[in-house]
């Protein structure tokens, strides 16, 4: 997409998106990546710590438990779920599925994707959640 | 810069589908994988709600420094980074911060750099 179209249209003010609920939600969705980037940087730090040795790894877990880091990561969890909610409804619009000539209802496609989220969580529970693993 | 505008447009016709593809793939990973990843690694683990040995140093190392670990990092770090880069680039454009040509290089470049770093760590741990 050509981003220099401002040469043809009058430039928008920076607060244009504050004027309508739809645009505010759009910007909120754009902002979901901010806590995601924070979590990703945390994860990268954890990988470096794991490479360094057992002591660094324990230090990283303690760092992850500090209140501000925990709070920002809880925000990242909420952001990922909000992103999921907005992303899943797009799928049936972008790629409507048809099975044996019948189009699958939108709700079924959205529900299927949420089932995917639950499956991944169950996989993690199977991998990490059981005692004596 | 404006003299090269047509050049830029011409080039963008080639690379935009790539950024869009990475954005979409990252969006799927962000939506489907990240809720569980964040819940287990960034919430339950530091709160001590996982069994003690679940992510001990030895177990975490053997899980991460492996072929599945490499794929896991690709899906949980690299693709979501490109998703984030795309949204940040367009978000910056929306609030008129910086120039898009520079933002584009910074965002996708940053995502690529961190991706290489992340995958490099897995390979380094694997070869250790």
* Smallest Cα distance from A84 to chain B, Å: 4
Is residue A83 in a domain? Answer: yes
Which has more confidence, B18 or B6?
A: B18
Nearest residue to A82 via CA among B106, B95, B79, B87: B87
Is residue B78 in a domain? Answer: yes
User: What's the rounded mean pLDDT across residues A48-59?
Assistant: 97
Which of B35, B98, B112 is most worth mutating to test chain A (most A CB atoms within 10 A of its CB)? Answer: B35
CB contact under 8 A, A33 and B27: no
Is residue A89 in a domain? Answer: yes
- Is residue A29 domain-shared with residue A63, that is, in the same domain? yes
- Is residue A75 domain-shared with residue A108, that is, in the same domain? no
Is residue B6's pLDDT more than 60?
no
- Is residue A110 domain-shared with residue A74, that is, in the same domain? no
- Is residue A47 domain-shared with residue A84, that is, in the same domain? yes
User: Shortest CB distance from B53 goes to which of A70, A87, A133?
Assistant: A133
Is residue B36 in a domain? Answer: yes
Burial environment of residue A27 by CB neighbours within 10 A (0 to 12, 13 to 18, 19 or more): middle
pLDDT at position B2, please? 46
Is residue B8 in a domain? Answer: no
Please report, for the domain that includes residue B54, its CATH number: 1.20.1300.10
Tens digit of each residue's pLDDT (9 = 90 or more) over B18-58: 999 999 999 999 999 999 999 999 999 999 999 989 999 99
Chain A contact present for B119, CB below 8 A: no
Tens digit of each residue's pLDDT (9 = 90 or more) over B92-104: 998 889 999 999 9
Is residue B6 in a domain? Answer: no
- Structure confidence at residue A15 as a pLDDT band (50, 70, 90): confident
pLDDT at position B75, please? 98
ipTM over 0.90: no
User: What's the rounded mean pLDDT across residues A13-21?
Assistant: 86
Calculate helix-pair angle for B79-94, B5-32, nearest 10 degrees. Answer: 130
Chain A contact present for B7, CB below 8 A: no
CB atoms < 10 A from the CB of B19, how many?
A: 19
- Structure confidence at residue A127 as a pLDDT band (50, 70, 90): very high
Is residue A1 in a domain? Answer: no
- Is residue A88 domain-shared with residue A113, that is, in the same domain? no
User: What is each CA distance from A83 to A19, A36, A96, B77, in whole angstroms?
Assistant: 22, 10, 20, 16
Please report, for the domain that includes residue A58, its CATH number: 1.20.1300.10
- Structure confidence at residue A10 as a pLDDT band (50, 70, 90): confident
Which has more confidence, A6 or A43?
A: A43
Secondary element (H or E) of residue A113: helix A106-124
Token pair in block for residue A55: 């002591």
* Residues β-bridged to residue A98: A103
User: Shortest CB distance from A76 goes to which of B42, B48, B94?
Assistant: B42
- Structure confidence at residue A12 as a pLDDT band (50, 70, 90): confident
- Residue range(s) defining the domain that contains residue A75: 16-95
pLDDT at position A47, please? 98
- Is residue A40 domain-shared with residue A87, that is, in the same domain? yes
In DSSP notation, chain B reads -GGGHHHHHHHHHHHHHHHHHHHHHHHHHHHHTHHHHIIIIIIITTTT-S-TTTT-HHHHHHHHSSHHHHHHHIIIIIHHHHHHHHHHHHHHHHTT-S-HHHHHHHHHHHHHHHHHHHHHHHHHHHH-
Is residue B43 in a domain? Answer: yes
Is residue B14 in a domain? Answer: no
What's the number of domains chain B is made of? 1
Calculate helix-pair angle for B5-32, A106-124, nearest 10 degrees. Answer: 70
Question: What average pLDDT is seen over chain B?
Answer: 91
Is residue A74 in a domain? Answer: yes
What's the number of domains chain A is made of? 2
Tens digit of each residue's pLDDT (9 = 90 or more) over A64-122: 999 999 999 999 999 999 999 999 999 888 888 888 888 889 999 999 999 999 999 99
Is residue A3 in a domain? Answer: no
Chain A CB contacts of B124 below 8 Å: 51
Contact status, residue B108 vs residue B89, Cβ threshold 8 Å = yes
- Is residue A91 domain-shared with residue A71, that is, in the same domain? yes
Distance CA A9, CA B91 (A): 19
- Is residue A23 domain-shared with residue A47, that is, in the same domain? yes
* Smallest Cα distance from A99 to chain B, Å: 22
Residue with tokens 């770093």: B117
pLDDT at position B9, please? 52
Secondary element (H or E) of residue A98: strand A98-99
CB contact under 8 A, A73 and B38: yes
Distance CA B44, CA B39 (A): 6
Is residue A11 in a domain? Answer: no
pLDDT at position A129, please? 86
Q: What is the pTM of this model?
A: 0.88
- Structure confidence at residue A9 as a pLDDT band (50, 70, 90): confident
- Residue range(s) defining the domain that contains residue B79: 26-127
- Is residue A88 domain-shared with residue A121, that is, in the same domain? no
* Residues β-bridged to residue B69: none
Contact status, residue B66 vs residue B126, Cβ threshold 8 Å = yes
CB contact under 8 A, A128 and B81: no
- Is residue A107 domain-shared with residue A91, that is, in the same domain? no
- Is residue A55 domain-shared with residue A110, that is, in the same domain? no
Tens digit of each residue's pLDDT (9 = 90 or more) over A21-43: 889 999 999 999 999 999 999 99
Which has more confidence, B128 or B70?
A: B70
Which 57-76 residues of chain B touch chain A by CB within 8 A?
57, 59-61, 63-65, 73, 76
């Amino acid at each position: 997409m050509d981003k220099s179209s401002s040469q043809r249209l009058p430039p928008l003010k920076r607060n244009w998106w504050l004027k309508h609920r739809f645009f505010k939600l759009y910007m909120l969705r754009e902002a979901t990546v901010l806590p995601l980037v924070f979590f990703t940087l945390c994860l990268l730090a954890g990988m470096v710590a794991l490479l360094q040795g057992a002591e660094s790894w324990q230090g990283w877990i303690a760092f992850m438990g500090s209140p501000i880091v925990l709070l920002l990561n809880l925000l990242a969890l909420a952001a990922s779920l909000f992103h999921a909610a907005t992303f899943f409804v797009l799928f049936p619009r972008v790629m409507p599925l048809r099975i044996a000539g019948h189009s699958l209802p939108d709700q079924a496609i959205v529900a299927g994707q949420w089932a995917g989220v639950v499956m991944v969580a169950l996989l993690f529970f199977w991998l990490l959640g059981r005692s004596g693993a | 810069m404006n003299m090269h505008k047509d050049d830029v447009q011409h080039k963008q016709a080639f690379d935009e589908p790539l950024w869009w593809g990475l954005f979409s793939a990252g969006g799927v990973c962000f939506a489907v994988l990240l809720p569980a990843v964040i819940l287990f690694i960034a919430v339950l683990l530091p709160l001590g709600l996982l069994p003690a040995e679940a992510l001990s140093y030895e177990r975490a190392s053997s899980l991460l420094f492996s072929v599945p670990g490499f794929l896991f990092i690709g899906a949980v770090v690299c693709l979501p980074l490109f998703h984030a880069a795309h949204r940040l680039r367009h978000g910056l454009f929306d609030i008129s911060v910086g120039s898009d040509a520079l933002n584009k290089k910074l965002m996708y470049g940053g995502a690529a750099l961190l991706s290489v770093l992340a995958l490099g760590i897995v390979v380094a741990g694997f070869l250790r």
